[in-house]
C-alpha cells in the first residue's frame, strides 16, 4: 500500500492523513499541507485518452487520498462532476485559430473555481465522517467575487455543513453580487460588508484566530473550516484537468503520446499553476509552465530574479481575480525549491511578514517555470484580436495568458504545442470584454449580457441568464467591526 501522508511546509504538523488535512484546511503551525511524496502513477496516455473526466478524477484522487475508499472517491467525484457542468467533457480542450484552450468555465458559476469547489464539499463531508466529527462544519469565506459564488454553489444543501460568505458591498461586480445574493441553499448565508475585500478578509481571519469564539461555537456544536485555496482538498482536484487536457490532445490526434507540451496559466494565488506542476511531477509530459500575471506582477519579478517583494502599489485591473500580491500557494512551491527544508520556508515567510520581501537563490528556481505579464492595454488588444481573427471571445483573465504566451512565442519560438488555460466565461466580465471589442453601450452590466450575446452569438450560460430577474434571498449587511456580533446574533436566532 502506497500510503500518502501530508506534511506542513513549516515542519511542525506532519504525517497527517488526507482526511485530516482536508478537515484542518490550514496546518496547525500556520503552514500549508503538502503530500510527503508523489504517488507512482504510471501514466499511459494511449490508455488514459479513452477515460471520462470522472474516471480519470477517480484514479488521480485515489492515488492521493489514500485513506478514502474507492467507493468514497467515486461518490465524491460523481456528485461533483455531473449535470452541473454544461458539457460531458467537464473541461474540454478546444482549438481556435492556432491555439488550444483548456476551458475550465463550464461549471455552475462559470469560473474555474468550480473545478475544485464542486468536489471539496463532498471530500469534506466524507473526511468529517472518517474523523468522526459530529459537529456541524461552519465554513467562513471572504471573497472578492469568484470564490464566494463557487463555494455557495458547491456547499449548497450539503448535509452537516453551513457556509457564510462575506463580500465587500461595493467591491464586486453587479453580476458577481447578484450571483451570490440569489443563492438558494438552505445552509447558505451571504453578507455584504461595508469595507473593501481586505476588511472582509481581516474580519474572517480574526474570527479564526479567536479562541474564545471558537470554544463558544464548539459548545453550540460548530467547528470552523475554510474553503479557500490553502486547503489541499482544493489543490488536488485541479491536477486532473492538466492530465485530462493532455490526454484529449492525444485522443484528438494533435500530439503523439509522450510529446512535450506547454501550458500558459493566468495566475493569482498560484494554486492553478501549482496543480500543473504536480501533474508534471506525476509524469505528464509538460515542458514549460508559463506563469502569467497582470500589472500586479509580483510573480513575474520573482521568477526572473528570485526576489519576492510586495512593496508596491496594489493595482485594480480588469482581471480582478488575479489582483493579488501575496500568493499563498507559492509557499508550497518554495518548500519544494528549498528541498523540503521547513526551517528555510519559515525564515522566508517571517521575512515576508516582517519586511515585505525575501530572496531565494536564483539558481534554485525551476528552469521549467517561465514568468510573463501583460498590461491592461495588451489584455484588451488580445480580446479584440482573438475575436476578430478566430471568432472566439476570451475573458480578461484568459486574455492575460494568451497575451503573455504570444509574447513568449515571438521571443522564444517554442517548438512545442501550447495550451492556454482558460479560467472564466466572458459573460462574467461583460463590461471589459465589450469595451475591448470596441463597442460602447450605456447599459448596466445586466443589459450587457444580452449585448454580448448579440455580438458573439455564444449562448448565455444559465449562471447569468435572467439574473436581473431572480429573487434576492440574502440582504444581510454588517460593518467590518461587527462580523463576530453578526454571527452571534444569527446563532441566537437559529439562522445558523
Ligand X SMILES: *Cc1c(COP(=O)(O)O)cnc(C)c1O
The residue ranges that bind ligand X (CB under 6 A) are 111-113, 146, 229, 266-272, 321-322, 397, 423-424
- The residue among 255 and 370 lying less far from ligand X, judged by its C-beta, is 370
Residues 221 and 392: their CA atoms lie apart, in Å, by: 50
Q: Measured at the alpha carbon of residue 443, what is the angle toward residues 439 and 444, in degrees to the nearest 5?
A: 120
Q: Minimum Å distance from CB 460 to ligand X?
A: 18
Residues 191 and 227: their CA atoms lie apart, in Å, by: 16
Q: Minimum Å distance from CB 422 to ligand X?
A: 9
Choose among 472, 434, 470, 468: nearest CA to 451. Answer: 434
- The residue among 111 and 394 lying less far from ligand X, judged by its C-beta, is 111
- The residue among 81 and 112 lying less far from ligand X, judged by its C-beta, is 112
Give helix then strand counts, H and E, for the chain: 20, 15
Residues 438 and 168: their CA atoms lie apart, in Å, by: 30
* Half-sphere exposure (Cβ direction) of 88: Cα atoms closer than 13 Å: 2
- The residue among 297 and 397 lying less far from ligand X, judged by its C-beta, is 397
Taking 3-state DSSP, the helix, strand and coil percentages for the chain, each rounded to the nearest 5, stand at 45, 15, 40
CA dihedral 445, 447, 450, 456 (to 10 degrees): -50
Q: Minimum Å distance from CB 291 to ligand X?
A: 9
- The residue among 16 and 111 lying less far from ligand X, judged by its C-beta, is 111
- The residue among 113 and 130 lying less far from ligand X, judged by its C-beta, is 113
Residues 464 and 454: their CA atoms lie apart, in Å, by: 15
Cβ neighbour number for residue 348 with a 10 Å cutoff: 21
Q: Minimum Å distance from CB 455 to ligand X?
A: 21
- The residue among 35 and 107 lying less far from ligand X, judged by its C-beta, is 107
Q: Minimum Å distance from CB 309 to ligand X?
A: 18
* H or E segment and range at residue 165: strand 161-168
Q: Minimum Å distance from CB 400 to ligand X?
A: 8
DSSP 71: H
* H or E segment and range at residue 237: helix 232-251
How far, CA to CA in Å, does 415 sit from each of 99, 248, 260, 263, 409?
14, 20, 9, 13, 9
In order, the DSSP letters of 275-294 are HHHHHHHTT--EEEEEEEE-
Q: Measured at the alpha carbon of residue 143, what is the angle toward residues 335 and 151, in degrees to the nearest 5?
A: 85
Report whether 248 contacts 284 (CB < 8 A): no
Q: Minimum Å distance from CB 270 to ligand X?
A: 5
Place of cell 453578526: 486
Q: Are β-strands 261-266 and 417-422 bridged in parallel, bridged antiparallel, or unpaired?
A: parallel
Place of cell 494511449: 46
- The residue among 255 and 265 lying less far from ligand X, judged by its C-beta, is 265
Q: Minimum Å distance from CB 112 to ligand X?
A: 6
Q: Minimum Å distance from CB 275 to ligand X?
A: 8
Q: Minimum Å distance from CB 277 to ligand X?
A: 12
Backbone conformation region of residue 340, classed left if phi is above 0, alpha if psi is from -120 to 50, else beta: left
Residues 10 and 4: their CA atoms lie apart, in Å, by: 18
In order, the DSSP letters of 243-261 are HHHHHHHHHTTSS-TT--E
- The residue among 270 and 300 lying less far from ligand X, judged by its C-beta, is 270
- The residue among 93 and 425 lying less far from ligand X, judged by its C-beta, is 425
Q: Minimum Å distance from CB 458 to ligand X?
A: 17
- The residue among 72 and 103 lying less far from ligand X, judged by its C-beta, is 103
- The residue among 130 and 234 lying less far from ligand X, judged by its C-beta, is 234
Q: Minimum Å distance from CB 428 to ligand X?
A: 7
Amino acid at each position: 500500500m502506497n500510503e500518502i501522508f501530508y506534511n506542513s511546509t513549516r515542519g511542525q504538523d506532519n504525517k497527517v492523513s488526507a482526511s485530516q488535512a482536508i478537515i484542518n484546511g490550514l496546518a496547525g503551525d500556520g503552514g500549508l499541507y503538502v503530500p510527503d511524496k508523489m504517488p507512482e502513477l504510471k501514466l499511459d496516455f494511449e490508455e488514459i485518452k479513452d477515460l471520462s473526466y470522472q474516471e480519470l478524477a477517480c484514479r488521480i484522487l485515489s492515488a492521493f487520498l489514500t485513506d478514502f475508499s474507492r467507493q468514497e472517491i467515486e461518490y465524491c467525484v460523481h456528485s461533483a462532476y455531473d449535470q452541473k457542468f454544461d458539457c460531458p467533457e467537464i473541461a474540454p480542450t478546444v482549438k481556435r485559430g492556432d491555439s488550444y484552450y483548456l476551458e475550465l468555465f463550464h461549471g455552475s458559476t462559470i469560473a474555474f473555481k468550480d473545478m475544485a469547489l464542486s468536489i471539496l464539499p463532498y471530500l469534506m463531508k466524507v473526511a468529517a465522517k472518517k474523523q468522526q466529527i459530529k459537529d456541524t462544519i461552519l465554513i467562513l469565506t471572504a471573497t472578492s467575487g469568484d470564490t464566494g459564488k463557487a463555494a455557495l454553489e458547491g456547499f449548497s444543501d450539503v448535509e452537516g455543513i453551513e457556509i457564510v460568505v462575506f463580500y465587500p458591498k461595493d467591491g464586486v461586480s453587479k453580476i458577481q453580487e447578484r450571483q451570490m445574493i440569489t443563492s438558494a441553499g438552505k445552509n447558505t448565508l451571504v453578507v455584504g460588508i461595508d469595507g473593501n475585500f481586505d476588511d472582509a478578509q481581516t474580519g474572517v481571519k480574526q474570527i479564526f484566530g479567536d479562541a474564545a469564539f471558537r470554544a463558544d461555537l464548539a459548545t453550540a456544536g460548530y467547528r470552523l473550516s475554510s474553503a479557500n485555496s490553502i486547503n489541499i482538498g482544493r489543490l488536488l482536484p485541479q491536477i486532473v484537468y492538466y492530465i485530462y487536457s493532455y490526454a484529449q490532445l492525444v485522443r484528438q490526434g494533435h500530439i503523439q503520446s509522450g510529446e512535450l507540451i506547454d501550458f500558459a496559466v493566468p495566475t493569482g494565488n498560484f494554486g492553478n499553476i501549482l496543480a500543473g506542476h504536480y501533474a508534471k511531477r506525476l509524469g505528464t509530459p509538460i515542458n514549460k509552465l508559463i506563469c502569467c500575471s497582470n500589472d500586479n506582477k509580483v510573480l513575474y519579478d520573482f521568477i526572473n530574479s528570485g526576489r519576492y517583494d510586495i512593496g508596491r502599489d496594489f493595482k485594480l485591473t480588469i482581471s480582478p481575480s488575479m489582483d493579488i500580491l501575496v500568493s499563498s500557494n507559492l509557499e508550497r512551491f518554495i518548500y519544494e525549491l528549498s528541498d523540503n527544508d521547513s526551517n528555510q520556508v519559515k525564515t522566508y515567510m517571517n521575512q515576508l511578514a516582517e519586511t515585505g520581501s525575501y530572496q531565494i537563490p536564483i539558481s534554485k528556481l525551476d528552469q521549467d517555470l517561465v514568468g510573463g505579464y501583460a498590461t491592461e492595454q495588451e489584455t484588451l488588444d488580445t480580446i479584440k484580436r482573438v475575436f476578430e481573427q478566430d471568432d472566439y471571445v476570451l475573458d480578461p483573465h484568459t486574455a492575460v495568458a494568451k497575451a503573455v504566451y504570444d509574447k513568449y512565442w515571438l521571443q522564444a519560438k517554442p517548438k512545442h504545442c501550447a495550451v492556454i488555460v482558460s479560467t472564466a466565461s466572458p459573460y462574467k466580465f461583460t463590461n471589459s470584454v465589450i469595451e475591448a471589442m470596441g463597442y460602447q453601450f450605456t447599459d448596466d452590466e445586466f443589459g450587457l449580457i444580452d449585448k454580448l450575446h448579440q455580438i458573439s452569438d455564444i449562448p448565455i450560460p444559465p449562471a447569468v441568464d435572467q439574473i436581473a430577474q431572480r429573487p434576492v434571498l440574502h440582504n444581510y449587511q454588517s460593518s467590518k467591526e461587527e462580523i463576530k456580533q453578526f454571527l452571534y446574533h444569527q446563532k441566537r436566532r437559529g439562522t445558523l
